[in-house]
């Protein structure tokens, strides 16, 4: 993968955002991200195929058939094969895997992959109803008004009961603190302008079941976001075609995909078992173990998802995720930095773009192009990993990346 590009993740928290002001539309985000990557790979003439990832523009924007926007991005893409893929909040990584498979199948040398979502078009309660389509919609009537916050609140409550509330609650607050501090280092992040001094104290606010959900507060949740991300998936020949040196690329050395039954509730709410399977598949595909990975971008749609993902990655035993986080291991200066530009809570969560944003962050980190957000990448741990989740641990994709230099 080469030539990653992110638009601003727009929504509450950004100084430019106002519900009363006209904002960019879906097509404008697509064009900015797509053109950003095309400029880095030598233009549309070098592209063989296109993939767009989007969850539910047909509801948020009353727009479907998004593959038709590629010629709008650049006239040079007219007539080229294009496809739109969807897998709820795991859509972005599914788009990446679609591009990877085209390269592996030798139907393309260069695939332009763009993810986009514009959700700040409806009020929060209506948005919750739309987003419920990422789960089993027949549960909607029995579910919480804030559907997915309710589902992950239930996971948090089960974790509190099984492993203790106090330490877990502190770990959720630390996760939030790390996310915002990392986002402050990334100019495109939704929380880039956040100036709160005591982030951990803020995040320890008691949940208000009357106004929100039982076991999580609003700081435990990723925000509604508008934005797009793009990247190019290329073969060795495609890399030569773009003129990009190998040290500015990352090699995809493995990926894992796993699906859970959308109609069923979790067997154990304290475990992300489909996430665990996807990571296992990815690491086995890559032929490495998690201790060889320098950094990961994981799907922290809620802080409790961050805790559970730490365990799903095999970094901590079941029930020990909070300890691992509170020991500082997942912070940017810890032994396993996670979500170095803020993750979903700090950078933002434009659902169709999230998995691609994760890949762009890993590309930047492994090639030393992450700017103020850069962390050291040890020579004996040259790998990065992403984990993108759709629904309540239902549609999962994990990808393993390696620095292109000397590979």
Look up residue 264 and give its DSSP letter: S
Look up residue 132 and give its DSSP letter: G
Q: How far is CA 12 from CA 120, 138, 190, 347, in A?
A: 9, 30, 7, 12
pLDDT tens digits along 243-300: 999 999 999 999 999 999 999 999 999 999 999 999 999 999 999 999 999 999 999 9
- Residue 74 shares a structural domain with residue 211: no
Look up residue 87 and give its DSSP letter: B
Average pLDDT of the residues of the chain: 97
Write down which residue in 198, 213, 247 finishes a domain.
247
Cα separation, 377 vs 208, in Å, equals 41
Domain assignment of residue 320, yes or no: yes
Residue-level pLDDT at 143? 78
- Residue 55 shares a structural domain with residue 164: no
Residue-level pLDDT at 404? 80
Write out the residue range of the structural domain in which residue 13 sits.
2-122+224-247
Q: 8, 17, 116, 10: which is closest to 72 by C-alpha?
A: 116
User: 405, 289 in Cβ contact below 8 A?
Assistant: no
Domain assignment of residue 129, yes or no: no
Domain assignment of residue 171, yes or no: yes
Domain assignment of residue 134, yes or no: no
Cα separation, 397 vs 299, in Å, equals 10
Residue-level pLDDT at 269? 98
Strands 226-234 and 2-6, bridge-based pairing: antiparallel
| Helix, coil or strand: residue 224 | coil
Residue-level pLDDT at 407? 43
- Residue 196 shares a structural domain with residue 214: yes
Domain assignment of residue 309, yes or no: yes
Domain assignment of residue 259, yes or no: yes
Q: Give the mean pLDDT of 146-163.
A: 96
- Residue 259 shares a structural domain with residue 339: yes
pLDDT tens digits along 12-61: 999 999 988 899 999 999 999 999 999 999 999 999 999 999 999 999 99
Q: Which of 97-101, 127-131, 266-270, 387-391 has the lowest mean pLDDT?
A: 127-131
Domain assignment of residue 127, yes or no: no
Q: Which run of H or E residues covers position 234?
A: strand 226-234
Residue-level pLDDT at 20? 87
Number of compact structural domains in the chain: 2
Write down which residue in 232, 247, 262 finishes a domain.
247
**Domain CATH for 263:** 3.40.47.10
Helix ranges (DSSP H) in 191-337: 199-203, 236-242, 273-286, 303-312, 321-326
- Residue 277 shares a structural domain with residue 359: yes
| Helix, coil or strand: residue 75 | helix
55 token code pair = 């969850």
Domain assignment of residue 7, yes or no: yes
Q: 339, 341, 344, 345: which is closest to 310 by C-alpha?
A: 339
- Residue 334 shares a structural domain with residue 369: yes
Angle at 247 between CA 246 and CA 252, to 5 degrees: 65
- Residue 260 shares a structural domain with residue 364: yes
284 token code pair = 């086995």
Band (pLDDT 50/70/90 cuts) for residue 125 is confident
Residue 72's Cα: distance from chain center in Å?
25
- Residue 230 shares a structural domain with residue 210: no
- Residue 107 shares a structural domain with residue 202: no
- Residue 233 shares a structural domain with residue 108: yes
Residue-level pLDDT at 124? 82
Residue-level pLDDT at 400? 98
pLDDT tens digits along 162-211: 999 999 999 999 999 999 999 999 999 999 999 999 999 999 999 999 99
Cα separation, 119 vs 91, in Å, equals 15
Cα separation, 280 vs 151, in Å, equals 25
- Residue 343 shares a structural domain with residue 385: yes
- Residue 216 shares a structural domain with residue 228: no
pLDDT for residue 405 is more than 80:
no
pLDDT for residue 324 is more than 50:
yes
Of the two residues 128 and 108, the one the predictor is more confident about is: 108
Write down which residue in 247, 282, 306 finishes a domain.
247
| Helix, coil or strand: residue 20 | coil
């Amino acid at each position: 993968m080469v030539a990653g590009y992110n638009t601003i993740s727009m929504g509450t928290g950004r100084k430019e955002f106002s519900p009363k002001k006209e904002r960019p539309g879906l097509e404008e985000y697509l064009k900015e991200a797509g053109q950003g990557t095309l400029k880095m790979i030598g233009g549309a003439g070098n592209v063989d195929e296109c993939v767009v990832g989007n969850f539910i523009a047909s509801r948020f924007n009353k727009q479907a058939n998004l593959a038709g926007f590629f010629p709008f991005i650049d006239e040079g893409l007219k007539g080229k094969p294009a496809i739109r893929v969807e897998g709820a909040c795991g859509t972005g990584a599914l788009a990446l895997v679609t591009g990877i498979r085209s390269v592996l199948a030798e139907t393309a040398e260069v695939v332009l992959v763009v993810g986009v979502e514009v959700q700040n078009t409806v009020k929060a309660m209506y948005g919750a109803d739309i987003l419920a389509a990422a789960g089993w919609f027949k549960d909607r009537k029995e579910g919480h008004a804030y559907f997915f916050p309710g589902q992950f609140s239930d996971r948090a409550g089960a974790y509190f009961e099984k492993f203790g509330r106090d330490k877990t609650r502190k770990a959720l607050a630390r996760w939030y603190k790390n996310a915002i501090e990392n986002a402050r280092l990334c100019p495109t992040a939704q929380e880039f302008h956040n100036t709160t001094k005591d982030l951990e104290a803020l995040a320890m606010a008691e949940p208000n079941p009357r106004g929100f959900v039982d076991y999580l507060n609003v700081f435990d949740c990723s925000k509604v976001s508008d934005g797009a991300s793009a990247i190019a998936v290329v073969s060795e020949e495609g890399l030569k075609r773009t003129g990009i040196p190998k040290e500015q690329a990352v090699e995809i050395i493995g990926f894992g995909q796993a699906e859970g039954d959308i109609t069923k509730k979790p067997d154990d709410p304290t475990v992300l078992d489909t996430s665990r399977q996807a990571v296992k598949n990815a690491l086995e595909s890559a032929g490495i173990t998690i201790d060889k990975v320098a950094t990961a971008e994981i799907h922290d749609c809620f802080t409790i998802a961050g805790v559970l993902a730490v365990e799903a990655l095999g970094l901590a035993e079941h029930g020990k995720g909070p300890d691992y986080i509170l020991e500082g291991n997942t912070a940017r200066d810890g032994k396993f930095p996670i979500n170095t530009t803020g993750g979903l809570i700090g950078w933002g969560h434009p659902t169709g773009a999230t998995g691609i944003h994760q890949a762009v962050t890993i590309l930047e980190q492994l090639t030393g192009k992450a700017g103020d957000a850069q962390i050291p990448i040890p020579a004996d741990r040259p790998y990065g990993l992403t984990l993108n989740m759709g629904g309540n641990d239902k549609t999962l994709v994990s990808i393993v990346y390696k620095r292109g230099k000397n590979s």
